[in-house]
Structure formats: structure tokens, C-alpha cells
Amino acid sequence: MQFFFIFACVKIYKYYTKITMAKELTSRQENYSQWYNDLVTKADLAENSAVRGCMVIKPYGYAIWEFMRDALDKMFKDTGHVNAYFPLFIPKSFFSKEASHVEGFAKECAVVTHYRLKNNPNGSGVVVDPDAKLEEELIVRPTSETIIWDTYRNWIKSYRDLPILVNQWANVVRWEMRTRLFLRTAEFLWQEGHTAHATREEAMAEARKMLDVYSEFAEKYMALPVIRGIKSANERFAGAEETFCIEAMMQDGKALQAGTSHFLAQNFAKAFDVKFLNKENKLEYVWATSWGVSTRLMGALIMAHSDDNGLVLPPKIAPIEVVIVPIYKTDEQRQIVLDYCANLKQRLESRRMRVKFDDRDTQKPGFKFAEWELKGVPVRIAAGPRDVENNSVELARRDTLEKSTISIDNIEDYITKLLDEIQDNIFQKALDFRQSRTVKADTWEEFKEQIENSMFVYAHWDGTPETEQKIKEETKATIRCIPLDDDFEDGKCIYSGQPSKRRVIFARAY
RNA sequence: CGGGAUGUAGCGCAGUCCGGUAGCGCGCUUCGUUCGGGACGAAGAGGCCGCAAGUUCGAAUCUUGUCAUCCCGACCA
């Protein structure tokens, strides 16, 4: 059975791009391009030879994604969610049912128009068989709200059917005009939660709860400090009544939206006619939420923690937590050292650590040191004849690049503690960095200057989309969010001078 | 799609102005010495100079076309 299809782009952009890591995923380094090229090629994060802004996630990069996925999946399940899977293809008509949703996504959809190829009559290659045109075009999902809500109509009849707490791990396609590796690829992997509730309050609580799950994951696992907040109307999800988000600062001072959670009210229930009988025996529309994070998180991880020597991975999501590098000159030494290291590996693995024993005889120790640093392995152990004699090892931590020689007597305990310490230190470093680049601005001049300095700027805003738009046009800064954890404070809008009740965060963003 | 730039070895680039049989660094292969921070030496392998047409005795180099890529912009939960 052959099933071919062709993507026709609703809006074809000739200069659709793949983005090299060099210029986009940069840290504060002036001469960043070289190390980043090295990082990408040598760290095996992703192949740069992307087609149409898609990315190849190489094994090492994918392993990081798997750790993130597994941790998140567990958190979802701990909060009562279950996984399901819905189709990749969505009938075009589904998209026209929710007005703002179609407006938000129509411009960036890949569309399946045909289902067959045939040999070119002129003998060269194959062409799309014009006879195989689909009656109704299929959209490759850019997000699954529509097809899921169309399905939910059949699942929900009574308040007893609610809530539905479903999550889906999937890939989605968005034909963006301009892509950036990891941050905005044409196809990306993600998770999308779609829940259905009997009341407004319950749905709102769900959206807030998932925001907390995301922020906990970002901070605990990724060591990425985030600000929880609400999106302004301009930045809100197409079809949502309220969008919550977590925002993180990258090392160049730009903001990155790391995850979103949407309160969809009854918009999709109304669009797809999903009603239920409530306890009062009255027919009512269902309340909804959706929430998602994607492989963009990997971009966040890279941009937030990397240094001149390459990646810096928090131990909790590092595919390899400890790497052991043997050092020897002669064959005789080699045998002794390898045994010594193999024993160490076993001891550490008995504590469930992820250990790599780099016993390659084809590379020298110095080369291996540099290579594993590039890949961000949190702890490196080096052991040579000297260590065998002294019952010691040389320990190097990736986050601080400090080296020390320790006895192997209690090495399991020592490294267990060290990994926690590294995890905390990476988080603290990122937090300190963000705080050192977060300021308040009370005048327009001050505001412009601080935005120019790539700061997170807390400033008053009059609450109108017009003002936000004008600020964006003049400074390229957008409102990242209205922080949830901040107090109210009277003030005047930085731009219009109109009264304001609270400060919002402005920054330039990816 | 508007503005700017670039396509030469696996990667990064020089050579193009001023036409004359293809260069450098890294990487790769072999041998030797090395091995506690990306080793050194010697010898090698690897290129329809993006594609097409034109000018010319002769084109990586000049002309035209075309394709691709990158940057800025527009766009983007």
C-alpha cells in the first residue's frame, strides 16, 4: 500500500529558512559562532542540514528530550492526566469553526491536497497524480484543539463524563515564515494537554495548575528559573480567553516563552457543539483548557546554561551524569586502570547513576575531556596509575570547571551529593543572572535604554493593545507577561502616561 | 515577499577585481614517537568551483539566467 501526499503551502515563502545555531542560539560571548558550530556538530544536538526548517534530533539530543518527556509525563500523571493519541490530519473544515483560531493558524498550515504520485509521462521522475485530488484537503495539525474537540463531542453527554484530562505526545507542523533551530522549527515534538470541565472555575483552576507543573519542571529539572504570568491580549493564544505562560531569560538577555497554558472558556465547545447535562438537568457548554511545551525547551536549556566550553546540562536531565576517563601509558598500566575504572562504574551504577566509561583507545585523555565538556556531562572522573596507587580519582565538575582529587572510599555518597549541588548551582547561577538583568523603569527614556541593554524591564502599562503595539514598534520589546506573583502598585503608563495598577515585564523575545 | 550577502574537499575558508589545468586550516588514512587538558613528525586520500547558457584559443574568475542558503524586515500561542 502506497500512500503519498503532497504538501501545498497556504502561504509559500520562498525564503523559508533553516537557521544556523551560530547566530541564533547565542550566549553572551562575542565570538560565539565558532563554539556554537562546534557544539552543534560535536555535541550531536541536532543536524544543521535541516530541510525547510525542520530539525534532525541526533541521539544525544533526543536522549535529553526523553528525560524531559519522561519527567513531565510523570508529573502529568501525578496530577490525574492520561495519555491518548489523535490523528495527524485534520479536515480543513474543522478549522473554520472557531473564528479566532482559524485566524491564528491559517497562515501557517501545511495542506495535503493529493494522495498519490505517478510516473511522469515524459519519463523523468514522478509527478503528483492530478486524478488523486482529495475531495476535502487535510491540514497537517498545527495544534489539535479542533480534532480533539470534534471527538470530545461524542465522549461528553453528562456531567458524569467530566472532567476529561487528556494529554497527547505528538509532532505538529507550523509553516512559519522564518524558523530558528529548536525555537521555531517547521515540525516540532511537543505535548499538548486538552481538558474538558463542567465549570468555569474548574477549568481555570486546571489551567493554573498546569502552569505550576510547568514552572516546577523548568526550575527543578531544567534548572531554569521562570516567571509565571498572564499574556496580554496581543500575545494570547488564538481561541483562548486567558493565556498563562512561563518566561525565561536567555544569556543574551532575550526572553523565551518556555510553556503556555490556556483557559479556553467555552469557545471550542461552542464551535464544536460539545454540550452536557449538568446536575440541574440543564444543557450547558463544556469548559476547556489546553497547555503545551515543546522541543523548544531544549533550546532554552542550551541558551540558558551553556558556556565557552559547550553545553552545561543539569544532572536531572543529563543523559550521562558521570563520565569516567582512564589515563595510562603502557599496556600494563592500561589493564590495571581499566579494571579500576570498571569497578568504579559498577559502584556508581549501583546507585542508579547514569555512567559512561569512555574506554576508547583511539583518543587521548585531553581530547575526551574536551569532548565530554562540550556535551555537558555534569561530572567527570579521571583515573590513572597515580590514582590506582593512592586509591583516589580526579573529579571535575562541569558547572564550575573545578577539579579536585578525592578518595574513592565513599565516592558513591560524594557524587550523589555533588550532583545535587551542581543541579542547585546551575539554577542559582541562572537566577542570579536574570536578577542582575531585571530592572524597573519609570520614564520612557529610561525604558528605551534598558530595553537596549537587553534587560527584563518592569514598567507600568495602560492595558491597551494600542500602547503595547506602539512600544513594540519603537523598541522591539513586547510584554512578556503580567507576572502572577507580583503585588499591585499604582503608577503611570511608561508610554501614554495613563494610570496603571501594576507593572508588567517588557523584553525583547525570541 | 522587500532590502543585503553568499554558494569552491566532510567542516571552516582563500582565490574572482586583473581569465591561463585547484589552494589553506581542521578533520580523515598509514607509520613512528606520544598519552594527568583538544599531541607531534612524515607520507597519503579526498573537488563536474551550486546549476544552465553565453563570450573566449582558454572560465572558479567575465555576462545572462536559474536554483539554493544566510542575515535584516514583514509574520509568529
The nucleotide closest to A363 (CA, C1' atoms):
B35
Residue A246: CB less than 7 A from any atom in strand B: no
Asked if CATH classification 1.10.10.10 holds for the domain at A17-88+141-305, the reply, yes or no, is: no
**Chain A 24-83 residues in 7 Å CB range of strand B:** 24, 37-38, 41-42, 50, 52
Name the helix (H) or strand (E) containing A458.
Answer: strand A456-460
In this predicted structure, the answer to whether residue A51 has a pLDDT above a threshold of 60 is: no
Q: What ipTM does the predicted assembly reach?
A: 0.85
Q: How far is CA A498 from CA A315, A448, A487, in A?
A: 47, 18, 19
Which region among A4-18, A439-453, A460-474 has the lowest average model confidence (pLDDT)? A4-18
pLDDT: which is higher, A375 or A278? A278
Residue nearest to nucleotide B34 (CA to C1'): A329
Of all nucleotides, the one whose C1′ comes closest to residue A294's CA is B77
Q: Using DSSP bridges, classify how beta strands A255-265 and A242-249 pair: parallel, antiparallel or unpaired.
A: antiparallel
Q: What is the pLDDT at residue A125?
A: 65
Domain ranges of chain A: 17-88+141-305, 315-434, 438-507
- Tell me, yes or no, if the two domains A17-88+141-305 and A438-507 fold the same way: no
Residue A173 pLDDT: 87
What nucleotides of chain B have any atom within 7 angstroms of a protein Cβ? 1-3, 11-12, 34-39, 68-77
At residue A6, the pLDDT reads 31
Q: What is the 3-state secondary structure (H, E, C) of A369-398?
A: HHHHHHCCCCEEEEECHHHHHHCEEEEEEC
pLDDT-derived band at A303 (thresholds 50, 70, 90) equals confident
CATH architecture of A315-434: 3-Layer(aba) Sandwich (3.40)
- pLDDT value at position A193? 98
Q: Residue A53 corresponds to which cell in the numbers above?
A: 526548517
Closest among A49, A68, A83, A95 to A189, alpha carbons compared: A68
Spacing of A12 CA from B70 C1' in Å? 19
Q: Looking at residue A19, what is its pLDDT?
A: 23
Q: From the CA of A148, how many Å to the C1' of B27? A: 50
Q: What b/e string do you get for A180-214 counting C-beta neighbours within 10 Å, with b at 16 or more?
A: bbbbbbbbbbbbbbbbbbbeeebbbebbbbbbbbb
A399 touches strand B (CB under 7 A): no
The separation, in Å, between residue A14 CA and nucleotide B2 C1' comes to 13
Q: How far is CA A15 from CA A12, A140, A178, A188, A251, in A?
A: 9, 21, 8, 20, 28
Class of domain A438-507: alpha beta
**Residue A370: φ, ψ to 5°:** -65, -40
Which amino acid is present at A154?
A: N
CA–CA separation, A130 and A508 (whole Å):
47
Mean pLDDT (whole number) for A226-250: 93
Judged against a pLDDT cut of 80, whether residue A386 lies above it is answered with yes
For the cut 50, the answer to whether the pLDDT of residue A20 exceeds it is no
Least confident of A150-164, A240-254, A398-412: A240-254
CA of A395 to C1' of B38 (A): 19
Give, in Å, how far the C1' of B68 lies from the CA of A51: 12
Q: Which nucleotide is nearest to A180 (CA to C1')?
A: B76
Q: Residue A49 — pLDDT band, cuts 50, 70, 90?
A: very low
Which whole number is the average pLDDT over A176-184?
Answer: 74
Give the 3-state secondary structure of residue A35: helix
Name the nucleotide nearest A309; use CA and C1': B38
Instruction: Look at residue A123 in the predicted model and tell me its pLDDT.
Output: 61
